[in-house]
């Protein structure tokens, strides 16, 4: 009997090396990839205007939009194909006529996952869409911030179509 238990324990030990690292598996979307300027090869910084279109939504919808941006679902599309909330404010960032479009999703998020009460805080995901002078999207990036972040840290250099 003891011999069978030892044999079973050693088989489990050997097979455990074949299992995937469960700690590395995550359900979170991958972080937003930076967008590279096609002309200079430099990484473009996230642009956060003080005044941009807010879409109040549920957290899961914001996460889906983040995934679409990260997966490249907007690449190659024309900016006019998107909803008006995604193309209500922009700025030119080079002399070739390329533009950065900005909007954000605003949602409730639990204050602390371990708490049992219903305390929530406002969060926002800011999106930047990068278009060439013809309006073709060649980049999308996003970042998460606390609600109202744009009022204190945003810029006033925006334009409307």
User: Do 155 and 48 contact (CB within 8 A), yes or no?
Assistant: yes
pLDDT for 52: 87
Enumerate residues 6+ apart whose C-beta is below 8 A from 23.
none
What would the pLDDT profile of 23-58 be if each residue is shown by its tens digit?
A: 444 344 455 666 776 667 777 778 999 988 888 888
N-term to C-term CA, the chain: 79
Of 95 and 1, the structure prediction assigns the larger pLDDT to 95
Count of CA atoms in the C-beta half-sphere (13 A) of 133: 5
What would the pLDDT profile of 87-137 be if each residue is shown by its tens digit?
A: 889 999 888 899 999 999 988 876 555 555 555 678 889 999 999 999 999
pLDDT for 73: 94
């Amino acid at each position: 009997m003891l011999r069978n238990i030892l044999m079973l324990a050693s088989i489990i030990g050997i097979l455990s090396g074949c299992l995937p690292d469960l700690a590395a598996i995550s359900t979170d979307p991958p972080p937003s990839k930076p967008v590279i300027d096609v002309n200079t090869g430099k990484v473009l910084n996230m642009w956060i205007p003080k005044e941009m279109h807010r879409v109040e939504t549920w957290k899961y919808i914001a996460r889906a939009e983040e995934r679409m941006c990260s997966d490249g679902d907007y690449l190659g599309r024309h900016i006019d194909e998107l909803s008006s909330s995604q193309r209500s404010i922009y700025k030119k960032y080079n002399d070739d006529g390329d533009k950065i479009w900005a909007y954000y999703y605003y949602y409730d998020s639990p204050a602390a996952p371990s708490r049992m009460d219903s305390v929530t805080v406002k969060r926002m995901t800011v999106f930047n869409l990068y278009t060439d002078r013809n309006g073709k999207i060649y980049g999308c990036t996003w970042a998460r911030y606390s609600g109202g972040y744009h009022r204190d840290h945003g810029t006033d250099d925006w334009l409307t179509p």
